[in-house]
Amino acid sequence: MPHLTLEYTANLALAPAAALGAINAAAFDTGLFGEADIKSRAYCVDDFRIGIQPLARAFAHVRIALLGGRSPEERKALADAVLTALSATLQAPPGHELQLSVETVDLDRASYAKAVVRG
Amino acid sequence: MPHLTLEYTANLALAPAAALGAINAAAFDTGLFGEADIKSRAYCVDDFRIGIQPLARAFAHVRIALLGGRSPEERKALADAVLTALSATLQAPPGHELQLSVETVDLDRASYAKAVVRG
Amino acid sequence: MPHLTLEYTANLALAPAAALGAINAAAFDTGLFGEADIKSRAYCVDDFRIGIQPLARAFAHVRIALLGGRSPEERKALADAVLTALSATLQAPPGHELQLSVETVDLDRASYAKAVVRG
């Protein structure tokens, strides 16, 4: 951990490598995590729907799953930093409303299982 | 929020635009959410396995992530409404058992970060 | 339930059918679940980033969502069994560090909605 998951709608001109680099750096700079532990992935969402009305909309969302024990202040600072980093890597398409959001969620520490294998 | 995520196995004749439209409408009709806040996406699952036995099976699952503070009754009514809407948009393939499910999960309100950008 | 989700980076020579078969069998062998209830899917992650440094890394992660009521010991035993099963189906690519992890998360039982349809 942490596991970061970026989802973004396909109408965004988002470069996933740049976005993931930015959010990993932001997560690392909080000082909460070991460097190699920050594992992120991006999913481009081709099929999406925002609201009910047929308006030009887009979203990008990051879910950060981390082992419990962080304070509410640390979690808020982490989410804010990742949101800021993500915002800097993309723009709303012309005429679109773009919603950006970041959530944090606790992983269950007692059952978390992990192994590292070297090839 | 809310964030809705539909996953469906590739052996289903599901039209994602229709399914997302139906579940967004069902979520909106609960009166719990602002119109533009309902953000849904669909993932078609090519690689899946249900159970152990080599039987003809399929699933479609919706995860609804919403900010805390809803009552258990509101969450149950929301999940039931989305399940009903989803059910109306697809059929089990001939000879298959189709499992449909909807879960709700609380987002951590204290750390949730959001921004809206207009292009 | 349970819902199992395997994510693996695209630089792994992982056969999803074999991996899902192995983790379903491991979950079933715990005796915690009905056979047909074990629903798993795999997502290959093309866009990922691990840490900050440009090192050769990979990950595979399983998220197990299950209805509440299992003991901490049952959840830990489940996660360990799935990790062992997953480990047996893949190797770290030459020169890479591969991180494997398994988490368990409770589904909200009160709002969980389900239906089974036969085609």
The string of pLDDT tens digits covering residues B19-53 is 999 999 999 999 999 999 999 999 999 999 999 99
Cβ–Cβ of B112/A91 closer than 8 Å? no
Whether B35 is covered by a domain: the verdict is yes
8 Å CB contact between C11 and C77: no
Count of Cβ atoms closer than 10 Å to residue C117 Cβ: 15
Residue C18 is which amino acid?
A: A
Say if residue A19's pLDDT is above 90. Answer: yes
8 Å CB contact between A102 and A83: yes
Helices (H) and strands (E) in chain A, counts: 2, 6
Instruction: Give the start-end residues of each E strand in chain B.
Output: 3-9, 39-45, 47-50, 57-67, 97-107, 113-118
ipTM over 0.90: yes
Whether A32 is covered by a domain: the verdict is yes
Nearest CA in chain B to A80: B113
Q: Please give the residue range of the domain that contains residue B99.
A: 3-107
Whether C115 is covered by a domain: the verdict is no
Q: How far apart are CA C15 and CA C21, in angstroms?
A: 10
Of B49, B57, B82, the CB nearest to C20: B49
Whether B117 is covered by a domain: the verdict is no
Cβ–Cβ of C50/A40 closer than 8 Å? yes
Nearest CA in chain A to C8: A41
Whether C71 is covered by a domain: the verdict is yes
Residues of chain B with pLDDT > 70, as a percent, come to 100
Q: Are strands B97-107 and B57-67 parallel, antiparallel or unpaired?
A: parallel
Whether A118 is covered by a domain: the verdict is no
How many structural domains is chain A composed of?
A: 1
Cβ–Cβ of C40/B52 closer than 8 Å? no
Locus of tokens 């470069």:
A15
Average pLDDT on A4-14 reads: 98
**Neighbour subunits, B (≥3 Cβ pairs < 8 A):** A, C
Distance of CA B76 to the CA centre of its chain: 13
Q: How far apart are CA A66 and CA B18, in angstroms?
A: 35
Q: Note the pLDDT of residue C68.
A: 82
Could you tell me if A46 lies within 8 Å of chain C, comparing CB atoms? no
The string of pLDDT tens digits covering residues C27-84 is 999 999 999 999 999 999 999 999 999 999 999 999 999 998 899 999 999 999 999 9
Instruction: Supply the CATH number for residue C86's domain.
Output: 3.30.429.10
Whether C16 is covered by a domain: the verdict is yes
Of A7, A100, A104, the CB nearest to B115: A100
From chain B, pick out residues whose CB is under 8 angstroms from the CB of C27.
none
Whether B56 is covered by a domain: the verdict is yes
Q: How far apart are CA C12 and CA A42, in angstroms?
A: 17
Q: Note the pLDDT of residue C37.
A: 97
